[in-house]
Structure 1
């Protein structure tokens, strides 16, 4: 406590100032500063290169076959092989060999399906031992573990899957499904991990009996493998060809299951640029 006395013509004034709490705050501040210095940090260090490395360094603790290093970078702890989207490799270490999917590698039937659907995204096989890092144009990655399940994925949104999973190209019942902006779909089933991508956070819509779900084909990422979507459109076939707008036709899902959608409509140029 500090006592101040002022004498003026009007009289004597007394001022009492309590300083103990201010000195206490100063002591606390000094203590925190010392702690920071003891740890080797400083007020400027949060923007240093070392601090950046600590915040973004690879997580070496996990050893799962698939694990997310960031929401947009997939790490594959490769011990044999994996199927991945062509051009999705951003880095790797170890001895890994990359081989593009051969034309007849999966049989003549699948080759004709790919030609008929105008598939814009090919697969590559990564084989060997090491750590493989995959990404696709900064899209958000979602990991799904299939346990004798079946899921159909928009071909452009399929990033990688384990080699033990069975897969096939899904043909739509109507030609409109083939021509909807270069769309093609891949059905995956069995046991293993699958990595799919979406622009921003995906939204899952539940499909219930008697309550069909309508989606824009260019915003549709994946759906339950047993669902059989139908294409709904009111425009003529002649005006349909070459049309880029997804709102002119929709996919209708009936039955029971789920549909995953994203907040961005992928155009033909988007699909070609990311393949």
Structure 2
């Protein structure tokens, strides 16, 4: 049998590293310790691996999940072997946290070391008019895997105010506190609007990661974008 599928570029990466990109859209994790991952993100595994629902851990997190739109159901992946993660062929990026933190849009959070701390945080200024904006904040020492719909750009927010479409913002430095602003005015609204109703406004030392897309529609099969029925359903089942 012959095919370019048997080329080295397609073969499993042979490395002792725990976290490695199999390719631009697939993550390979060597399970020497537990990993938390978005439910539905496993595409393959080798070895003796177990997948369990991961609860909120605290009542505060449980309540936040019930009252917010930030519904990011997680699974705990444990055992011995290698696990491959992906989400609708989106680009995968690895970030090593060294005692610092990152704020991530839940739909862009693929996996992270289970020893890291995480919580749901409200974006300042995001009230009822915008539907409420909530992110997952991850901090400590370990690796976080993010996804983006296309190759992203990393913007430095320290030199001047940086505005980002709320659907295009993947993640940012956790110490940044973006404001939610609106570019709408009465005249523009009467004429049908600009199509750019709300943005995050960042300013200060730090970065924001921006994808070249306003995200894919939720729903349908595959990936973790639809959150597999939601956090509440996971608790009831």
TM-score class normalised by the smaller sequence: 0.7 to 0.9
Instruction: Return the structure number with greater relative CO, CA threshold 8 A, min gap 6.
Output: 2
Q: Please give the per-residue CA displacement for 1:163-195, whole angstroms capped at 9, x wherever unaligned.
A: 121111111233438945x85311111111111
| 1:146 is the counterpart of 2:100 | no
Q: Which has the higher helix share?
A: 1
Query: Tell me, what secondary structure is at the counterpart of 1:109?
Result: helix
Distance 1:267 1:69, change over 3 A: closer
Distance 1:157 1:146, change over 3 A: same
| 1:206 is the counterpart of 2:159 | no
| 1:231 is the counterpart of 2:231 | no
1:233 CA drift (Å) = 1.7
- Of residues 233, 250, 263, the one that matches 2:212 is 263
| 1:70 is the counterpart of 2:23 | yes
Distance 1:84 1:177, change over 3 A: farther
Equivalent residues of 1:137, 1:274 under 8 A apart: no
List alignment gaps of at least 5 residues for structure 2: 228-237
Structure number with larger C-alpha Rg: 1
- Of residues 84, 87, 107, the one that matches 1:133 is 84
List alignment gaps of at least 5 residues for structure 1: 1-44
| 1:251 is the counterpart of 2:204 | no
| 1:84 is the counterpart of 2:37 | yes
- Of residues 58, 65, 76, the one that matches 1:107 is 58
Equivalent residues of 1:90, 1:135 under 8 A apart: yes
Equivalent residues of 2:38, 2:224 under 8 A apart: no
State how far apart, in whole Å, the 1-side matches of 2:200 and 2:85 are: 30
1:92 CA drift (Å) = 0.5
Equivalent residues of 2:49, 2:80 under 8 A apart: yes
2:165 maps to 216
Query: Tell me, what secondary structure is at the counterpart of 2:170?
Result: strand
What is the alpha-carbon root mean square deviation over aligned residues?
A: 2.5
